[in-house]
Amino acid sequence: MQTLTEIKSLLERAGHPPKKALGQNFLTDHNMIRKLVDDSGVQNGDLVLEVGPGTGALSVELLERGVRLIACELDAALAKLLRETLGTQYPDHFTLIEGDCLQRKRAINPEIISAIGDSPFKLVANLPYHAATPLMLALMTRHPNCSGMFTTIQHEVVQRFNAHTGTKEFGTISIIAQQLGTVGTIAKLPPGCFWPQPSVASAMMRWVRDESRSPDPEWWVCFAECTQQLFQTRRKQLAGVINKMTPHPIDWPPGINPTDRIDALPPDRVEALCRAIVNSGYDA
């Protein structure tokens, strides 16, 4: 596993100081790296997606466990370094995609999709914070072959994924994550686990897909769009909000009243409401 001295040496070799604009805070705590990989449960031969590998500290731990690793790196200098190091050391298990992990704000880079194909896979990554939420939502809604995500992200984002009804953090990402799977916190990380140290608190998050849920990406993308629109006016009564979204009155699902607010409903009732809205003619 790479030490901080080795990470600095590799960056010097690449002629590349950490870039704040790309969220390059390298996870250097070996215990936490092992903890993240252990929690993911990946085994020899499993397919893993890593976004933002940096110098490859987490990548090495994954590759040493025999996984087939697809890594996506936006930074050209680091991509070159990874090809020269991990690409040479693990030619049969390491695939590098250079570029943004997102094609658009809510769609995965098609090179990643092509490399994964229809195979089941897990995301295991120390994610660049600016890409974390859209990437994870896209994998949840559009790619049912993603069976789980084990990531380091901002602590406040973990709180939003795991938020409960009626709290200020509760919103679209809470509902999508909880309707499609189970959310949990693996560990909280002090800034000293990273170099350079970030200015925000971090945490390791676990999300495991509920295989009993429908694998229909078309519905989940529509559901996400509908939910997001409802939460744009989270403090207003539902009747007035929905009247502007649909051409016809909806059949109100059991347990939901026109005077309710969207942030007072648990995730399963939000989904029932969205299905009623779509059935009444809503087009995302």
* 263/272 Cα distance (integer angstroms): 14
pTM score, two decimals?
A: 0.92
The token duo for 156 is: 């406040």
Q: Alpha-carbon distance 186 to 22, whole Å?
A: 24
The predicted-structure confidence for 86-142, as pLDDT tens digits, reads as follows: 999 999 999 999 999 998 777 999 999 999 999 999 999 999 888 899 999 999 999
Domain boundaries, the chain: 4-209, 217-279
List the structure tokens of 240: 């007035």
- Contact between 186 and 205 (Cβ < 8 Å): yes
pLDDT category of residue 271 using cuts at 50, 70 and 90: very high
The CATH number of 4-209 is which of 3.30.910.10, 3.40.50.1970, 1.20.1250.20, 3.40.50.150? 3.40.50.150
> Using an 8 Å Cβ cutoff, are 27 and 33 in contact?
yes
Residue range 2-61, pLDDT digits in tens: 777 777 787 788 777 766 655 678 899 999 999 999 999 999 999 999 999 999 999 999
Give start and end residues of each alpha helix (H) in the chain: 4-13, 30-40, 57-64, 76-84, 86-89, 110-116, 129-142, 155-161, 172-180, 217-231, 238-243, 267-279
Using CA of residue 169, residue 37, residue 31, residue 152, what is the dihedral sign? negative
Give the angle subtended at the CA of 127 by the CAs of 166 and 119, to the nearest 5°: 95
- Measured between its terminal Cα atoms, the distance across the chain in Å is 46
- CATH architecture for the domain at 217-279: Orthogonal Bundle (1.10)
